Amino acid sequence: MSHNVGGQRSPGKIVAGSAPQPGPAKEGEVTTAELSGKRNKRKQPPERDCNCTHELSGFRSEMKQMLKEFTTNKEKFMTSMREDISQIKNQIGNIQVTTEHLSKENEKISSEISSLKQHISNTDDKIKSLQTDINVLKSESSADNPNTRPLDEEGLIKEIRERAYREKNIIIYGISELADGNIQEKQQHDNNEVHNITQLIIENSPVPQQIFRLGKFNPNKTRPVKVCYDSAQTVKQILRNKNKIENKEAKIYADLTPTQQNNLKALRQELRTRQENGENNITIKYVDGCPKIITTNTPKN
């Protein structure tokens, strides 16, 4: 057995039971410890990657929250806008209703003004008519007609009122009268007869306010029919065109007061007397509402 000189071991000798010791690394070679460290570093994720994932998750949460708040705010805004639009529509509707109401009120006022003007015009006509009646009454009660009695102031006013009432009426003679039947049937018969006669004179003749017989019923005598209208103009139009009726038995006359009847009766008597004395070119004609005897161009035989 040999011994190492100076107590040194041989470099290539390996003692039994011990791990081999690595020798010194050569230049450029990677040691086992360095290789193992690099592998461990590859297996562990970088710390920055972990922070980015956490930040991304937070960003997503914030975005979701923002979208949720945006949606909620949008719905509130849209609801508020719809309410505002609804209020505006209601206000526009109220304005339209108010405008229509004002327009109707304006039309009503215009109609009332026109009616007032017409009323004033009618009043003026009545005043003129009353003045004419006064002049006529004065003329009729003058000394020129001995058959009439002069009227005092009270009688004059009464006569004017009576004429104003009667000027809206006509008297029709010659309408057949039912002897049998009840009151309603007789009234309906008279209404139909009056309608048939007046329609021949005035197309679409106004409906009378009242129709009735004068005097008590007599089976041997036909009573005249009094027809009352609401306008004197209707009566004037009927009297001016009464010759249009084909029924020659029906005669239409104005509704005269007793004073007017007496004056007209006296005037007719005067006419007959003068005609008997040879005045054949005279007749009775109404002048300004007053009957007078006038001279005609054609003498009557």
Cα 183 to Cα 186: distance, rounded to the nearest angstrom: 5
CA dihedral over 213, 214, 217, 219, signed as positive or negative: negative
Question: What confidence tens digit (pLDDT) does each residue in 14-69 have?
Answer: 444 444 555 555 555 555 555 555 555 555 555 555 567 777 887 888 888 888 88
Rounded to an integer, what distance in angstroms lies between the CA atom of residue 79 and that of residue 279?
A: 102
- Give residue 5's pLDDT: 39
Determine the longest span between alpha carbons in the chain, in angstroms.
Answer: 214
- Average model confidence (pLDDT) for the chain? 79
The pLDDT assigned to 155 comes to 78
- Please enumerate in sequence order all residues whose Cβ is within 8 A of that of 283, keeping only pairs 6 or more positions apart, or say none: 271, 293, 294, 296, 300
How large is the average pLDDT for residues 124-136? 71
Reported as a single tens digit per residue, the pLDDT across 174-188 is: 999 988 888 999 999
Give dist(CA 67, CA 60) in Å, integer. 10
Residues 6+ apart with CB under 8 A from 139: 290
Q: pLDDT band for position 147 (50/70/90)?
A: low
Residue 69 carries which side chain, given as an amino acid letter?
A: E
DSSP symbol at 11: T
The pTM of this model reads 0.51
* Strand ranges (E), the chain: 169-173, 210-213, 225-228, 251-254, 282-287, 290-295
